Amino acid sequence: MINITNENIDDIKNIINFEDEWKELLEVCLNCKKCGLYKTRTNLVFGKGSHSAKIMFIGEAPGETEDREGLPFVGRAGKLLDKYMYYFDFNLENVYIANMLKCRPPNNRDPQESEQDSCIDYLRLQTKLLNPKIIVCLGRISAMRIIKPDFRISSEHGKWFRKGEIHMTAVYHPSALLRDPPKKADALLDFKSVREKATELGLM
């Protein structure tokens, strides 16, 4: 049991309010009908990781396994992502992982522009609550939406961009690495660069 004192009462209130805001946002997403994907999903895939993390990974949209389990990156691509994370000491206590879309597009098709438009505000609110110092886009689709519309993953992966206080980069999507294993060497360097940036910013 936490001992509440005059010294820590404000901190405790802030933590309770902060967690309530996360819960409210989840509730709003669970009830969202802004696009049609809520009709075909099994589960909403909101995000996973620590609410006090300063490093945020953003993927594209849930796949079949994610839809079944309600968590991002738990299928084949997720298992590969886990390996890179483990290698560079990233884990669910120091990162937060979310997707552009919270519901699975049928047959894993690319998210439509209108679906992204419907869902982006929820991701913005998650980002606002988290207040990350580093955002790592997983793949082209999220990089084009979050870093810049003309982002070219083949030539710009691993490069750093800055928006205000947030340092941003993109790495190849783990599914692209499964399809094209020679790209794994580039991904290793890109994750190394993320780790170095995290150290440089005093996050790890």
Q: Which residues bind ligand URA (CB under 6 A)?
A: 59-63, 66, 72-73, 75, 77-78, 99, 138, 175
The least CB distance from residue 61 to ligand URA, in Å, is 6
Distance in angstroms (rounded) separating the CA atoms of residues 199 and 203: 6
Q: Which residue is nearest to ligand URA (CB)?
A: 59
| Joined tokens for residue 75 | 């299928």
Q: With respect to ligand URA, which residue has the nearer C-beta, 19 or 110?
A: 110
Contacts of 93 (CB under 8 A, 6+ apart): 49, 50, 53
Q: With respect to ligand URA, which residue has the nearer C-beta, 13 or 79?
A: 79
The least CB distance from residue 71 to ligand URA, in Å, is 8
Distance in angstroms (rounded) separating the CA atoms of residues 156 and 148: 11
The least CB distance from residue 100 to ligand URA, in Å, is 8
CB 59 within 8 A of CB 49: no
The least CB distance from residue 78 to ligand URA, in Å, is 6
Q: With respect to ligand URA, which residue has the nearer C-beta, 49 or 78?
A: 78
| 3-state SS track over 60-109 | CCCCHHHHHHCCCCCCHHHHHHHHHHHHCCCCCCCEEEEECCCCCCHHHC
Q: With respect to ligand URA, which residue has the nearer C-beta, 29 or 164?
A: 29
